[in-house]
Amino acid sequence: MSETLAKYLPEYAVKPAFDLIVANQVHLKIVNERQTRHGDYRRGHTGKHEITVNSSLNKYRFLITLIHEIAHLVAFEKFGRNIKPHGDEWKFTFQRLMVPFIRPEIFPGQLLPLLTRHFKNPTASSDTDTTLSLALKQYDKENDKSYIFEIPYGSVFRIKNGKIFKKIAVRTKRFECIEISSGKTYLFNPNAEVELLPGNY
């Protein structure tokens, strides 16, 4: 398992992450990318703790996702199964598990202050922390996608599920876009990755 983790995690995170996996009897699966989530935790019908993490994540996001999911397991075991999935008990647990990893041997210097700020009150997904999400995405493999904040107003774009939108306005921190097929208005976070389409609709 350590050899496998070494392919996906920063070097100095491998041993402490492996120790957490062993201590909590985690059955870890590294899976092909899913569009809707970075990772997942569930307790199987046999009682086995199963965690999946997307193989496509960069090593820093992989680490955050792995600890996020282990925090679900630990919080449920400690506080009971009736707690909210991303409530105070999970936040407290995620903070406690993640803090030992927030150090310069593991994360690049520019990420450390962003992580420190984020983990004062962690959210259900680091993607909703736009500043941190954009900083983490610098370490992704290059692709042909654009961030929605980068494209001009009036641009037409496609999202992962195939739906097509036009960017029309900004509302506070998010961008207002119209779905071409339905005419409905949706709000997008600035760090949403989209495929820019040619031509007008």
Both 88 and 105 in one domain: the answer is: yes
- Predicted pLDDT of residue 15: 96
Do 20 and 114 fall within a single domain?
yes
175-193 residue pLDDT tens? 999 999 999 999 998 888 8
Phi, psi at residue 2, to the nearest 5°? -60, -40
**CB proximity list for 151: less than 8 A, separation 6 or greater:** 157, 167, 194, 196
Sign of dihedral through CA atoms 6, 12, 13, 18?
positive
Boundaries of domain holding 10:
2-137
Asked if residue 124 and residue 70 are part of one domain, the reply reads yes
Query: What is the model's pLDDT at position 201?
Result: 54
pLDDT of residue 146: 85
Taking only the tens place, the pLDDT of each residue in 73-105 is 999 999 998 999 899 999 999 999 999 999 999
How many structural domains is the chain composed of? 2
Considering 105, 137, 169, which residue would you say is the last residue of a domain? 137
| 177 and 86 in a common domain | no
Residue 67 and residue 132 in one domain = yes
Residues 155 and 130 in one domain: no
